[in-house]
């Protein structure tokens, strides 16, 4: 039986997916722009729900371990912080994603 003991630490897929999710959050909820109109709010909320479902499906498909989930969360966290999002907003986004993983 050929088992790679370092496979547990392989987080390439979760980091790549996290970068994709961070980009989508930036498109979905841009830092600069006009105030959200009421009709846009419902659309943004629907897109956010779709994004959270994608996170959940990815987690189920890839069966992420604790380390990989942490890498995912930290990657999203720091990419959004580097993009200029406030810490409270970033932590709210992470707080929505990690429990469903």
Tell me the mean pLDDT in the region 83-101: 93
Query: Where does residue 29 fall: left (phi above 0), alpha (psi -120 to 50 degrees), or beta otherwise?
Result: beta
Rg of the chain over Cα atoms, rounded to whole angstroms, equals 15
Residues 6+ apart with CB under 8 A from 13: 62, 68
**pLDDT of 57 over the 80 cut:** yes
Name the more confident of 66 and 37: 66
Q: What is the per-residue pLDDT for 59?
A: 92
pTM for the model stands at 0.85
């Amino acid at each position: 039986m050929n088992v790679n003991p370092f496979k547990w630490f392989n987080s390439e897929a979760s980091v790549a997916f996290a970068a994709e999710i961070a980009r989508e959050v930036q498109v979905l909820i841009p830092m600069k722009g006009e105030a959200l109109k009421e009709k846009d709010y419902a659309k943004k909320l629907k897109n956010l729900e779709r994004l959270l479902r994608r996170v959940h499906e990815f987690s189920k498909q890839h069966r992420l371990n604790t380390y990989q989930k942490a890498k995912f969360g930290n990657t999203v966290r720091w990419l959004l912080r580097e993009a200029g999002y406030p810490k409270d907003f970033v932590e709210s986004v992470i707080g929505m994603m990690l429990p469903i993983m």
